[in-house]
Chain A
Amino acid sequence: MTDILQELKGIVGDRVSASPGERCCYASDASQVVGLPDFVVRPKSTSQVSRLLRLCSEHLIPATARGAGTGLAGGCSPVRGGIVLDMSGMNRILEIDYENQQVIVEPGVVAEKLNFALKPYGFFFPPDPGSMAMCTIGGMLSYNSSGMRSVKYGTVRNYVLDLEVVLADGRVIHTGKKVLKSSAGYDLTRLFVGSEGTLGIITSAGLKIAPLPRTRKIVLACFEEAEIAGQAVIRIFSNGITPSACEILDRTTLQVLKLCDPLLAIPEDGDVILFEVDGTESSTSEAARQISEICQPTAKSVRIAVGAEMDSIWSARRLVGAAISRLDPTKTRIYMGEDVGVPIKEIPALIKKVQQIAVKLDIPAMKYGHIGDGNLHVALFIDVMNKEQWEKLRLAADRIHRAAMDLGGTVSSEHGIGLARAGYLPEQMGMEAFSVMQSIKKALDPKGILNPGKMGL
Chain B
Amino acid sequence: MNLDLKAINQCVRCGSCRTFCPVFEESGWESANTRGRIMILKGLTCGLQPDLQVLGSLNTCTTCGICTENCPAGVNPPEIIENARRQLVSLGKMTCQQADLSRNIFASGNTFGDGRDRLSWLTDRGLLTKKADYVYFAGCMNSYRYTETAANTFALLNRFGATMLPAEQCCGSPLLRTGFDARRFIDENCRQIANTGAKTVITGCAGCYTTLKKSYPQDFRVLSVPEFLAERISEMDIKPLDLTVTYHDPCHLGRHNQIYEQPRQVIRAICRLKEMKTSGKAARCCGGGGGVRAGYKDLSLKMAKKRLEDVPGEVDYIVTSCPLCIRNLRDAGAGEKVIDLVDLVAMAMQ
- Interface residues of chain A, those whose CB is within 8 Å of chain B, are 17, 19-22, 24-30, 40, 42, 68-70, 86, 88-89, 110, 112, 131, 133-135, 260, 319-320, 322-326, 329-330, 332-333, 335, 384-385
Contacts and interface: CB of A to CB of B under 8 A. Distances in A.
B49 A20 contact: yes
B36 interface: yes
A70 B12 CA distance: 10
Given A20-B49, A21-B53, A30-B15, A325 B74 contact: yes
Interface of B: 5-6, 9-10, 12-16, 18-19, 28-31, 33, 35-36, 39-40, 43, 48-49, 51, 53-54, 57, 72-74
A35 to B, nearest CB: 13
Contacts of A131: 14-16
A106 to B, nearest CB: 14
A330 B19 contact: no
Contacts of B31: 21-22, 25
Contact of B18 (A134, A320, A333, A384): A134
A110 B24 CA distance: 15
Nearest to B55: A21
Nearest to B32: A25
B13 A29 contact: yes
Contacts, number: 107
Contacts of B57: 21, 25
Contact of A21 (B10, B33, B40): B40
Contact of B16 (A17, A22, A40, A319): A319
A28 B13 contact: yes
5 contacts: A20-B43, A88-B28, A322-B12, A325-B10, A385-B9
Given A26-B30, A42-B28, A326-B74, A21 B14 contact: no
Contacts of A68: 15, 18
- Residue from A22, A27, A329 whose CB has the most chain B CB atoms within 10 Å: A22
Contacts of A89: 28
A45 to B, nearest CB: 15
Contacts of B54: 19-21
Given A20-B54, A332-B73, 20 more contacts: A19-B54, A21-B54, A22-B29, A24-B48, A25-B29, A25-B31, A25-B35, A29-B13, A30-B14, A69-B15, A70-B14, A112-B19, A131-B15, A319-B72, A322-B12, A322-B14, A323-B74, A325-B74, A332-B10, A335-B12
Nearest to A324: B73
A70 B10 contact: no
Contacts of B33: 25
A133 B51 contact: no
B306 to A, nearest CB: 16
